[in-house]
Structure 1
Amino acid sequence: MSFPPIRPELAGIEPYGAPQLPIDRVPVQLNVNENPYGPSEECIADIAAAAADAARTLNRYPDREFVALRTALASYLSRDVAGEITPDQVWAANGSNEVMLQLLQAFGGPGRTALSFAPTYSMYPEYARDTHTRWVAGRREDDFSLDLDVARDLVKTEQPGVILLPSPNNPTGTALPPDAIGVLCEAAGDGLVVVDEAYGEFRRAGVPSALELLPTYRNLVVTRTMSKAFAGAGLRLGYLAADPAICDAIRVVRLPYHLSAVTQAVALAALGHAPELLSKVDELRAERDALVDWLRSESYDIADSDANFVLFGRFADRHAVWQGLLDRGVLIRETGPDGWLRVSVGTPDEMAAFRAALIEVTQSDVNGERA
């Protein structure tokens, strides 16, 4: 046996991660769907004060149930629904990644199946792998929608313990209609249907949140994050809303005191500035829609986006285009179906730099030709 004695199925696997390059080398970074607008000085001061208060009690363990934070998150989510979401319906962890992993730990595992529909978030099969959960991926249609009859049949055949449905989908940006969620919740029986709304705040007007369906389907889980619309990627705070019994079950697998006192304090301070932190969402939506219009005017194929990124193509050699953009100081993401690229929505200046670089690459490099 070679050293270290890693599990055989993990041997030789590269860890997940998008390229991280210094900003002085690549000034326009549009590859990981960050919010390009940071917090105000007032918000920074309140966060710093909250962290300082938490530091005074770092000799003690934090609130294991993070009641104050769950109460604040429930209040925030309740603005998206006709009724009320209560604190006992909310759970949080270190990013929505840990939320998903905890769901698979509690409701997946040996002898159980997790299911999604490709193309989808590339971490989902890793959560399944890490929890010894069988992974099944159905296929989306050419426009990245779901054929509900096919999807329902697959769910009934596989009987998954957990269905993972990002909406808006990553990497395509496409949102699911409520009827699709309802169909899959009914087909899943007692299996969980997890609607991952990491980009939910960016959805277009008239596109509802799955939160509205929580009273109807007890097996529905809706996850969110403070990384995107809240401009809190460095905070690492993700959360879910679900039936209280689901939150209780997650307690069995959570690590002791998994949310630090500092994380709880900073998240609470940020939530206190929600109107300010979310104030740029409308601007980013408008910038996204302008980007979609421009890419279409340049004859690219586009996936309709309800997120803060756009998937576009198609290229005979997408890596050559990605590299050409990088050589010109613009970093985007080489992900999704073959021939497609994904670009995050940035500031107007960043989007202008992206457009100029893309024109230059595709006009000067034959590898930038459309597929």
Structure 2
Amino acid sequence: MKLDLNERSDDRPEWLKDITLNVDELWQYPVREPLEQTIAKELSQCCAANFSAANIFCSNGGDESIYILMRLIKETARVILPLPAFSQYTQGLESWALDGRTIAANEDLSINLDAVIDAISEQPGSVVILTSPNNPTGELVTLNALKQVLDAAAANQSWVFFDEAYIEFSEQKSAIELIEEYDNLVVLRTLSKAFGLAGIRFGYLAANAQLIELFKQRAMPFNIPAPSLQIAKEAMSQRAQQDVKRFVTRIQQNRAELFQWFKQRNLQPFPSHSNFLLIPMPLLQADLLTQVLKRKGIAVRRFNDDELKSCVRITIPFYLTPLIDALEDVFDPQLLCFDMDGVLIDTSSSYDEAIAATVKKFSGKAVERATILAKRRQGGFNNDWVLSQSLIAEAQGNAVALEPVIDYFQSVYLGSETNPGCIANETAILNQDAAQAINTLNVRTAIVTGRPRYEAKLGSELLQKTLKVWQPSAIVSTDDVTDCKPSPEGILGLKQAFNANRSWMFGDTPDDMQAARRSNSIAIGIGQQNQQQLRAAGADLVIDNINQIIDLITATESNERLG
């Protein structure tokens, strides 16, 4: 599902099925003027105005009009562009090296119209670019606000380019009705959004004849293919207009529903009058959401701008249920599973020390911790006894039986009455704040570990003693399953026991990630140094340590602008 470019991706116009293209015209160059006359007639009727073809310029998508706009500004004027803005405008300013200024947004990312009006008086002879509803926020510039900008522009030899690519999704009338009153207004419209015709690349401008002529003079000859002209003409029909109304009504309903869905989860989307929502959230949560949706075949939009990096923009689909189902996996988990060693508990001075001592005992050779970590990252070595056995075989050149390896390993790890063993060196990685956040989420939690049951119990007791506020709902050890990780057996058993369809797994090895993916769980890797291996094993996200879970399960603070 393509929800990244604000196209009409999951509900195609029904009237298109009945169109038969006139191939007899394809031998000759296309002529756009008859369609410009048709559009002028339609606009005259709906806006109670008197338009002619001289007031309309049909372009190859809105992009051609924007390209010509940039050229016009370069040749004749300066630019005033309030932010945030559609990327075609920001990139155009940079690539054309235009003279002028951008206007910083208000703190809530709304357009600072007061600053725009001030800039007009300070910089006469400018072109002001406004988009309404704005992309990427969905903010609506009211017609009254537009009039204030137009008045300021008229008093300072300036004009306004008003992009209405998304106007059909708002409740506001088009600014085209202001053209007879304001000769310094150019309005851009497109068939790419509400009409669902992005593939034919058709848009048009409406303005007074003098401004339109500036665009026509700079347009490519025969700029719109004949098939596109034919389809665009049909889009002006009553049947097509009714289809657009039906589609827009559904999108508006879904937009309201999705807006409330996010608010119920303490996220605050920007109020939108368009066919998308822009949702701010913690950066890690945005990364996780984007990747999980991508894995499920749903594309959403991310941004490179500093103020938008932690935002996700989602096009509103006609069929909302598949999107909601996918979002629930990220925002409504029912079960959180955690590996123990290296995730909840620091075992670098316990298990890893026991491995090193065991290898030295049997092979007579020292093994570096980096070698131990590299071996573990390969996958298939979630069991430290097996890992020790493999390192011994590599060190001495021949295999050794597992049983004596286990016996010695356990003696080093667990110690005796006189020797506390390496286990005494273990400390909790999970901190109090993260544990409290997990508790607040009010979901089932479980430890799925490669430890035997007795040692898993000791680890759990350490966590309880250290944290006090968190106790897992269940512990699955190697003694509780037939097949250990990377088998999904442990996680699947927990999902069945808790009747949980939506689960996450946190782990620091490829085996953990494979178990997560095989159990249809979100896979979250721990340890950026292992990122390549964890990603290759199926990790949806890799974080530095488990305490960053706070950013994954805690929504952004309420935005004051929304009350």
Query: What TM-score range do you get, normalising by the shorter chain?
Result: 0.7 to 0.9
| Aligned-residue offset at 1:129 | 3.8
Give distance in 1, aligned partners of 2:191 and 2:36. 13
| Residue matched to 1:18 | none
| Residue matched to 2:282 | 315
Between Structure 1 and Structure 2, whose CA radius of gyration is higher? 2
Indicate how the Cα distance of structure 1 residues 296 and 274 shifts in structure 2: closer, same or farther if over 3 A, else same.
same
| Aligned-residue offset at 1:123 | 1.0
Give distance in 2, aligned partners of 1:178 and 1:315. 34
| Aligned-residue offset at 1:149 | 2.7
Matches within 5 A, 1:205-284: 207-272=172-237, 273-278=239-244, 279-284=246-251
| Residue matched to 1:123 | 88
Matches within 5 A, 1:67-86: 67-78=33-44, 80-86=46-52
| Residue matched to 2:17 | 44
Task: Find the residue that maps to 1:195 and give its secondary structure.
Answer: strand
Relative contact order, higher structure (CA 8 A, sep 6+): 1
| Residue matched to 1:31 | 4
Indicate how the Cα distance of structure 1 residues 343 and 149 shifts in structure 2: closer, same or farther if over 3 A, else same.
same
Give distance in 2, aligned partners of 1:211 and 1:327. 42
Detail structure 1 runs of 4+ shifted over 6 Å in the superposition. Answer: none
Unaligned runs of 5+ in 1: 1-27
Q: Which moved more, 1:314-323 or 1:221-230?
A: 314-323
| Aligned-residue offset at 1:311 | 0.6
Superposed CA RMSD in Å reads: 2.3
The alignment's TM-score, normalised by the length of structure 1, stands at: 0.82
Contact 1:95 1:238 in 2 (8 A): yes
Indicate how the Cα distance of structure 1 residues 76 and 348 shifts in structure 2: closer, same or farther if over 3 A, else same.
farther
Say which of 103, 111, 117 aligns to 1:138: 103
| Residue matched to 2:327 | 355
| Aligned-residue offset at 1:111 | 7.1
* 2:252 corresponds to 1:285: yes
Give distance in 2, aligned partners of 1:265 and 1:275. 16
Whichever residue aligns with residue 309 of structure 1, its letter is F
* 2:54 corresponds to 1:88: yes
Indicate how the Cα distance of structure 1 residues 128 and 150 shifts in structure 2: closer, same or farther if over 3 A, else same.
closer
**Percent of aligned pairs sharing the same letter:** 25
| Residue matched to 1:24 | none
Give distance in 2, aligned partners of 1:79 and 1:352. 40
| Aligned-residue offset at 1:44 | 2.3
Contact 1:110 1:134 in 2 (8 A): no
Write the deviation string for residues 53-83 of structure 1: whole angstroms up to 9, x where unpaired. Answer: 2x323332222xx222112322443455243
| Aligned-residue offset at 1:152 | 1.0
Unaligned runs of 5+ in 2: 337-440, 442-503, 505-523, 525-548, 557-563
| Residue matched to 1:102 | 68
> How many residues were matched structurally?
333
Whichever residue aligns with residue 322 of structure 2, its letter is E
Q: Which moved more, 1:281-290 or 1:331-340?
A: 331-340
Whichever residue aligns with residue 277 of structure 2, its letter is V
Higher helix share: 2
Contact 2:65 2:215 in 1 (8 A): no
Whichever residue aligns with residue 66 of structure 2, its letter is M
Indicate how the Cα distance of structure 1 residues 176 and 352 shifts in structure 2: closer, same or farther if over 3 A, else same.
same
| Residue matched to 2:292 | 324
| Aligned-residue offset at 1:142 | 2.6
The alignment's TM-score, normalised by the length of structure 2, stands at: 0.55
Give distance in 2, aligned partners of 1:62 and 1:329. 38
Contact 1:235 1:263 in 2 (8 A): yes
| Residue matched to 1:176 | 141
Contact 1:231 1:277 in 2 (8 A): no
Q: Which moved more, 1:188-197 or 1:91-100?
A: 188-197
Whichever residue aligns with residue 278 of structure 2, its letter is L
Whichever residue aligns with residue 348 of structure 1, its letter is L
Task: Find the residue that maps to 2:292 and give its secondary structure.
Answer: helix
Write the deviation string for residues 32-67 of structure 1: whole angstroms up to 9, x where unpaired. Answer: 111131022x53232xx2x2x2x323332222xx22
| Residue matched to 2:310 | 339
